[in-house]
Structure 1
């Protein structure tokens, strides 16, 4: 897939609401992000009335519309009370939530969703709308988890592997500037992914580790050059669980930025997220920003 992203611009912020508490928190977080970027906030409610039209009465459809418009107004009012100078627009969409958000995000918007919605089981870490929005988006998606927003760590965390994640690192650097935070570039590598299932010799391990360190150093040097006023730290670690390391590191971050895999899903069911990305979205301790990866390489990366 060819990415629509070229540079880490400060794009408009789109947030989806459905009446759930996680969606409300996501809207308030998105409002703060819009303020940081100096851009408007667009609040979307996907009612899916087109999809329900054959199965419910016109009276029920009208009730759904009224409830959706009331929700949009209430959310806009809550946002305005916390950010009175923010430009806020709302949209009632007849399409389903995922389609509505993708359309509203367009080519240059950043989509924000809560980690759970009204549908499904409350115990699920990430709802189907958030998961499908993240998996199918061509623009950045931020999944806002149930976190204590009063605690600020002053760090934006970015997961990077090599130069193919440079766009992701640039987005993270830009976010760090907006959050007035430092940037930590974290490179996690799994030795079995590097050499296969055969146990490597010690010299092989040292050589592999050196290659990974060099890849991280190249990205770090580029970010240092492009963002000279930003405090940047970087480190590489070896682990059998890439997701586990990222989730633990997210405890000390205000935002985790990582590339969103766009690999073909099984049985031709569109596109899905990689295993590590999927796990991080379910368990991270801070909001997660997924940046679509560029090029055909995305199909083989997690």
Structure 2
């Protein structure tokens, strides 16, 4: 199953030390190949190992069900051979070190195996398309189930649901004059030469958006996003969406409703303090934005102008639950860009 791939030209720099593995789920679908490409390109930048996980089920026409260890050894060898061929055909342009790849066939049909294998990973990566096979297998009945249950960050790589959606994106791109390189590309000229749907899709602004609210998990998401911005030489946009009912007591307005401009200034001051207290590499360009809008609406709008949004999954306080609980689900179901949910 070979699909047209965007050209990968390699990073300008890479991490100096390896981290925990990137775990990526594949099943042979177009969605999972997008996740595989994303994970391998990430590993070239970060020098991490990539654990490529395939779940065997009866429906995937890989021979009779293994009944004993000898049968499973045979099936496992066959699956590993297929996984190697997918890396060769779908990711031939990504200069990944093959010695850094681990292939893990498992007898499973749900997200449990991926959660178990990836519970100590640096992140779990899966592909997603509406009602796609990889979403059904890895993400269960809803697109948020894996992100909800994981103990590590989960990155969901989104691809267009159909050609019509891709054409709409192509039309939008046609009217943008000064597009920089994609976050996974390092060569603007190569990107401009490349043709095809996936190549056009790759032409997104080089930026990463992270939503924060001051909770522990949102700060963890901010530092995860800062690491990725450093790896990809991307601008980091830190988004703080606020509403007066969530601001708590504003000095001078304990017994009255603060004006919007006072709330805005309070939000900007809070955001500046959050960024100042976060561990962000000096090499990262940071842009801060405080908007008087609900978090879900703000981040969904922001997702239209970036290729990657990072949010926390759930917190301990009421505000954290309000901001990051439902927001992470909405980001997975209502946006077209890659989304990482940080736990």
Per the normalisation by structure 1, the TM-score is 0.74
Matched, 1:27 2:27: no
1:144-163 correspondence runs (5 A): 144-146=157-159, 148=198, 149-162=201-214
CA contact (8 A) 2:26 2:134 kept: no
Structure 1 residues 112-142: Cα deviation after superposition (integer angstroms, max 9, x where no partner)? 0111432788xxxx76375322111001110
Shift of 1:10: 4.3
In 1, the alpha carbon distance for the partners of 2:75 and 2:237 equals: 44
Matched, 1:96 2:91: no
In 1, the alpha carbon distance for the partners of 2:65 and 2:122 equals: 32
1:64-103 correspondence runs (5 A): 65=75, 68-69=79-80, 71-78=82-89, 81-86=92-97, 87-103=100-116
Higher mean Cα deviation, 13-22 or 98-107?
98-107
CA contact (8 A) 2:27 2:134 kept: no
SS at structure 1 position matched to 2:304: helix
SS at structure 2 position matched to 1:96: coil
Structure 1 residues 244-278: Cα deviation after superposition (integer angstroms, max 9, x where no partner)? 22112112223211101268xxxxxxxxx822211
CA contact (8 A) 2:20 2:49 kept: no
Shift of 1:173: 0.8
In 2, the alpha carbon distance for the partners of 1:108 and 1:258 equals: 18
In 2, the alpha carbon distance for the partners of 1:129 and 1:173 equals: 29
**Gapped regions of structure 2 (runs ≥ 5):** 1-17, 161-197, 249-254, 317-323
Matched, 1:231 2:246: no
Higher mean Cα deviation, 111-120 or 18-27?
111-120
Please name the residue that 2:25 is paired with.
16
Matched, 1:171 2:224: yes
1:114-129 correspondence runs (5 A): 114-116=127-129, 117-118=132-133, 128=141
1:205-224 correspondence runs (5 A): 205-223=260-278
1:250-289 correspondence runs (5 A): 250-261=303-314, 274-289=325-340
**Gapped regions of structure 1 (runs ≥ 5):** 1-8, 53-57, 264-272, 293-302
Alignment counterpart, residue 244 of structure 2, candidates 178, 187, 191: 191
RMSD: 3.2
CA contact (8 A) 1:45 1:97 kept: no
